[in-house]
Amino acid sequence: MPTPDQCQNMADIRAEIDRLDRQVIALLGQRFAYVKAASRFKTSETAVKAPDRVQTMLQQRRMWAEEEGLNGDAIESLYRDLVNHFIAEELKQWQQNPMTKP
């Protein structure tokens, strides 16, 4: 895996971006598996939506982004969209098999 500075042409750059995107997508798939598993432990729709947790998580992701020299607004927006989608999917999962005990 060449570093960005070691790439010799656009084909090298694109190949590395594609490789990284593939890894990111695989990690998102793993993340989604945990989201679906979390629905087993939720006792209400409010617990699935977990607005306080979402806000805390978004602030942390913003901080991590800024530590990496990335735009905090962009990363927060990206994660907000991602989390909203995952919450909707988790809610569907929970509604199919709601936990019956507190």
- Annotated binding residue at 14? yes
Task: Using DSSP, state whether 73 is helix, strand or coil.
Answer: helix
Measured from the Cβ of residue 68, the count of other Cβ atoms closer than 10 Å reads: 9
- Annotated binding residue at 31? yes
Q: Comparing C-alpha atoms, which of 92, 72, 73, 97 is closest to residue 32?
A: 92
Contact between residue 51 and residue 59 where contact means Cβ atoms under 8 Å apart: no
Q: Which amino acid, one-letter code, is at 79? A: Y
- Annotated binding residue at 68? no
- Annotated binding residue at 42? yes
Annotated binding site for substrate: 14, 31, 42, 90
Annotated binding site: 14, 31, 42, 90
